[in-house]
Amino acid sequence: GEDVEQSLFLSVREGDSSVINCTYTDSSSTYLYWYKQEPGAGLQLLTYIFSNMDMKQDQRLTVLLNKKDKHLSLRIADTQTGDSAIYFCAERGPNTDKLIFGTGTRLQVFP
């Protein structure tokens, strides 16, 4: 089935690390993505990971993938107030552009 789940809300202090979690169900997923959405805006691609990788780092962002448990996480180091937004994980299967999105996690960063 197609079901991607995320916790709804995360609140962190500025300068701390944030970890946003995602679980998915489709074992045939080839790529998994993280998108950011700010109020009134579209989706901004943050990073993605191929399903045969278990980690990817890109500046302040670290993606961890546990394919056995179908668990994906996004760690944001040194979280800033500008990181406040909704974060969506998404999975894509083979031979399609179709993305299945998670429910989104609202990240709030306070000073």
In angstroms, what is the minimal distance from the CB of 10 to other proteins? 17
Q: Judged by CB, which is closer to other proteins: 4, or 79?
A: 4
Structure letter (DSSP) for residue 93: -
Part of the chain binding other proteins (CB under 8 A), chosen from 9-17, 52-60, 75-83, 85-93: 85-93
Select from 39, 68, 97, 111 the one that contacts other proteins (CB under 8 A).
Answer: 97
Cα–Cα distance between 32 and 2 in angstroms, integer? 14
Cα–Cα distance between 105 and 37 in angstroms, integer? 10
User: For residue 78, is it left (φ>0), alpha (ψ between -120 and 50) or beta?
Assistant: left
9 binds other proteins (CB under 8 A): no
Select from 12, 43, 53, 64 the one that contacts other proteins (CB under 8 A).
Answer: 43
Element (H, E) at 30: none
Cα–Cα distance between 77 and 28 in angstroms, integer? 30
Q: Judged by CB, which is closer to other proteins: 19, or 41?
A: 41
Residues that bind other proteins (CB under 8 A): 31, 33, 35, 41-45, 48, 50, 88, 90, 92, 94-104
